[in-house]
Structure 1
Amino acid sequence: MSTSTVEPAASPDNSMRSSKTSSSKAQSSASHTNVTQQRLPSPICWHEGMLLSPHHFQQNQQYWEGQLSRMVAALSPNFWGVGALSIDYAALLEGEVNILRIMAILPDGLVVDYDANIDDPLTVTLGDISSDGVTVQLAVPIQVPGSASERSEIQRYFSRDDQPRIDENTGDNEKILPRLIPKISLQISDRVSSRYIGLPLFRVLKPEGGSVQLDPNYCPPLLSIGADKFRAGNEDMVGPKPIQQQAKDLALVIRHKAMQLAGVAEGGEHLGHHINQRHHRWIRAMVQDLAAFELVADSSESTPRALYESLIRMVGPISELAPNNIPPRFSPYHHDDSLPAMKQAMNYIKAQVNRVNLNYTTLSFEQKRDGVFTLLFEKSWEGKDLVIEVCPTNNGSREGVKNWIESSRIASANLHKDLSDRRLLGAKADFIERDDKSEIVPAPNNALFRIKADKRFMSSEAKLVIVATSRKVQEDRPQTILVHVAHD
């Protein structure tokens, strides 16, 4: 096993490519090495009495390697990646990359199984680290005719004598056999030259005034989500949380919130029929695909693609918790850099789950006509103050909606005509900065009010209507009115 160096001098064409991609994210050679598009060699035509030479066995091996690589690539399009990786973090802090153990499959199908206790050192010096960071890649020369020959322009393998091996049939007759060892190395580059097959392992950053650290926003292509454990680091260098742990933590947050909400819903008759129904819909939205997601997240053998697809399946039901109930579009799975899309999906799910407030539930007034806001007043709300949040339009203001509410009539629909004739405004709405009981604080530019419980103006199972009584405040009409019902 050869020791590693920084990337050797490349052809002029490669130098141009490097300058263009130096600031881009790390790329494996999969972008220009498509196993399924490479032409397969034809099989050897074996026949009795043929004079055998090393060529026959070499070509036969290449044929079967090609067959296997083609089948694996067809069955599993994202077949390349890191299977296991261990690095010396103490050495990394000093600017030296020292690989202790790695098992990986390169984009051309080559399986690498390296152990520093057995093989030659696999190291590289980082040198100067740019502000954007640098990428450490595992590289091996491409396969060309004669790639095991020292006379070849591109030597992929070198020959090394193995330890003595016995005849498996007789148990004796020891022989020393030469073995072909791939010339793997480490290179510092976002993308290796066309003379190599490269697999990104990790990116390294060095903040100004800080020490060397792994890039928390990059994860290499993985054979399984359990292979990401190396990024967590150790006592020498604490790294980011691995993908699998992030997924397990998310599943725990969802399950915990669903169980808490189930406890509220179990005795939620006092909150009213509509709120109770909404709580049960929210619980279903959170747990509909939770068990399947937990199954994927709990297994270290799950593939990153399976985890991402499981996250996306959760997004649909979870969007029930979003204001518009419509999920955003998500990026396709990108095997070479799957972390950004994973984070986008996880952050969306977490944000929607965090919308579920266990202290209160929010309902919206309907606005069927401009400036006329209605909501069914539940029987369970009788004798209780209502906390409403008034949201101005894009051109409106907090002071404007305060004036609008102060000149509005608040009462059951069947009482409005009589109150209008008597020039009464109905129930009283007091402006408040926050509601201490439910810890409700209005959003910026919104106004919070407490409507005093008054059976004279608000009847159960009747439409509660809020409408302005003065044309002077029509321009201050709110965009929406929300009612926050506290969970007692």
Structure 2
Amino acid sequence: MKRLQPVIWTKGTFLSPQYLQLQDRFLENLLQFHLESLSFCPWGFRSLQISQETLAAGSFGISSASGILPDGLLFDIPASDGAPPPKLLADCFEPDQTTLELFLAVPQYRERGLNVATSARQGGARYRAEIELFRDENTGLSEKPVQIARKNLRLLVEGDALDGYSTLRVARVLRTEAGMFQLDPHFVPPLLDFQASDYLSAIARRLVEILSARSSAIAGVRRQKNQSLADFTAADIANFWLLYSINTAFPAFRHLFETRGGHPEVLYAAMLDLAGALTTFSTTIHPRDLPTYEHDDLGRCFTELDEKLRLLLETVVPTNFVSLLLKPVQPSIYATSLDNEKYLVNTKMYLAVNAETSKADIVGKAPYLVKVCSASHIEHLVRQALPGLPLTYVDSPPSVIPIKLNYQYFSVSQSGLCWEAIQRARNLAAYVPGELPNPQMELIILLPQAN
């Protein structure tokens, strides 16, 4: 029960401990009431460091931790509070048990009961009385003993009686077949800041990276009219809205990860917003399928939502083509590697050519002057004046190909001796004579799902 009634101080009041205790309770409960009213799930760890050395020795211990317990009690280990005694894990596991959850606990406040232990026999109290010497803060002199209430923190395990305690789930320990103990990497305790968890921070970082890559990939598909306009065909409308959804979410995720941090629910809400928008383009995932937030089970709900969100991003932003830049390797010879088997099986290839000459020159001369073969055979073709793979000008390339200004596109035949040489060598080279000055070339490969 919260004490929200202030103490009435009047002239002649006999000052007893109860007056000061009730005043402290009123201020504590007032702060907690404000916090619970204005914040969502205002309890959990702000920071947590589990001792790996203690775990390797077969026990579980906390090196440092800070946060708020569900009943509003603040803790800061070891700066203000002592770490709870470690737990010997072998004594906590049943013979056939492989997982064990542990809790940071403190006895609950007892209304009209014992809350401060003055001896070891009163171990069930919320606080332990300790005496410390303090100097006068004004003069720095006159050191006096003062009794302080040290929080009676302890570690409990699943199966222990948790009634009468305020608890925070702190870890899940796994026992391997070899009898060794390790932390469950997917377990996340209740948090006040998601950056206190390496697992949640990794999810946020991965989403920032994926969104950045997806944004660039979709933007590259847009057909450019000129330096300031982009032309979208009917087939590009879906990609436009995908780009809008991703570009709307990306700055917020980057802000959370790189600058702000914050309550896990803030990150979760941002993930739900993006996932909900992306379900518009999915035939398999409905908004109702997205998991709800569970503050006491962050590992499960974040893992499930992260998997669905990444699936949505992969599904609605497929990688339908690969663009490879041909780099100069010798005078007039340009080449690129084809080291992935998928580039050579059931694909279609297009050579994008730009040069410091007119469009008519590129369209008219490239099919007759440009020779395409493997890097090891291209010089032989030039010396013997033999043709390479046939090139055919394409006025309207497939819609999935990002059309670049001043580039002309040619389909590349994928048959004959030169194609067999390319398949064996896993590379492609092009010879471009001086009639097409300062050429720039890209090989665009349409993967099977785009054909």
Query: What range is the shorter-chain TM-score in?
Result: 0.5 to 0.7
Matched to 1:155, the amino acid is: A
SS in 1 for 2:296: helix
Q: Does 1:137 align with 2:124?
A: no
The aligned counterpart of 1:353 is: 313
* Equivalent in 150, 170, 173 of residue 181 of structure 1: 150
Give how far 1:437 is off: 0.8
CA distance in 2, matches of 1:224, 1:325: 29
The aligned counterpart of 2:116 is: 148
Contact 1:202–1:218 (CA<8 Å) still a contact in 2? Answer: yes
Residue correspondence of structure 1 range 145-294 to structure 2 within 5 A: 145-150=113-118, 154-166=124-136, 168-189=137-158, 192-209=161-178, 211-229=180-198, 242-266=199-223, 273-294=233-254
Give the TM-score normalised by the residue count of structure 2.
0.64
Could you give the per-residue CA deviations for residues 150-189 of structure 1, whole angstroms, max 9, x where no partner exists?
A: 48684111111113321x3444322121111111111112
Could you give the per-residue CA deviations for residues 282-330 of structure 1, whole angstroms, max 9, x where no partner exists?
A: 3223223222222223346311000111111111222243136843432
The aligned counterpart of 2:431 is: none
Distance 1:140 1:250, change over 3 A: same
Contact 1:163–1:177 (CA<8 Å) still a contact in 2? Answer: yes
Q: Does 1:297 align with 2:267?
A: no
Equivalenced residue count is 321
Residue correspondence of structure 1 range 67-466 to structure 2 within 5 A: 67-115=30-78, 119=82, 122-127=85-90, 128-129=92-93, 131-144=97-110, 145-150=113-118, 154-166=124-136, 168-189=137-158, 192-209=161-178, 211-229=180-198, 242-266=199-223, 273-299=233-259, 301-323=261-283, 326-355=286-315, 356-359=317-320, 436-437=346-347
CA distance in 1, matches of 2:225, 2:284: 25
Could you give the per-residue CA deviations for residues 76-104 of structure 1, whole angstroms, max 9, x where no partner exists?
A: 13111011112221220222112111112
CA distance in 1, matches of 2:57, 2:117: 36
CA distance in 1, matches of 2:235, 2:152: 66
Distance 1:224 1:46, change over 3 A: same
Contact 1:85–1:101 (CA<8 Å) still a contact in 2? Answer: yes
Matched to 1:245, the amino acid is: A
CA distance in 1, matches of 2:267, 2:50: 25
CA distance in 1, matches of 2:179, 2:117: 46
The aligned counterpart of 2:20 is: 57
Matched to 1:164, the amino acid is: F
Distance 1:358 1:267, change over 3 A: farther
Matched to 1:198, the amino acid is: T
CA distance in 1, matches of 2:178, 2:289: 39
- Output the aligned Cα RMSD: 3.1
Deviates more, 1:276-285 or 1:220-229: 276-285
Distance 1:120 1:287, change over 3 A: closer
The aligned counterpart of 2:370 is: none
CA distance in 2, matches of 1:438, 1:189: 59
SS in 2 for 1:163: strand
CA distance in 1, matches of 2:123, 2:143: 35
Matched to 1:224, the amino acid is: D
Distance 1:325 1:266, change over 3 A: farther
The aligned counterpart of 2:327 is: none
Deviates more, 1:246-255 or 1:286-295: 286-295
Aligned-residue sequence identity (percent) comes to 24
Matched to 2:102, the amino acid is: V
Give how far 1:135 is off: 1.0
Q: Does 1:66 align with 2:26?
A: no
CA distance in 2, matches of 1:188, 1:199: 11
CA distance in 1, matches of 2:247, 2:160: 42
Distance 1:120 1:198, change over 3 A: closer
Give the TM-score normalised by the residue count of structure 1.
0.60
The aligned counterpart of 1:390 is: none
Contact 2:81–2:150 (CA<8 Å) still a contact in 1? Answer: no
Q: Which ranges in structure 2 are unaligned for 5 or more consecutive residues?
A: 323-343, 350-447
Q: Which ranges in structure 1 are unaligned for 5 or more consecutive residues?
A: 1-37, 230-241, 362-433, 440-482
Distance 1:262 1:102, change over 3 A: same
Contact 1:244–1:298 (CA<8 Å) still a contact in 2? Answer: no
Deviates more, 1:92-101 or 1:186-195: 186-195
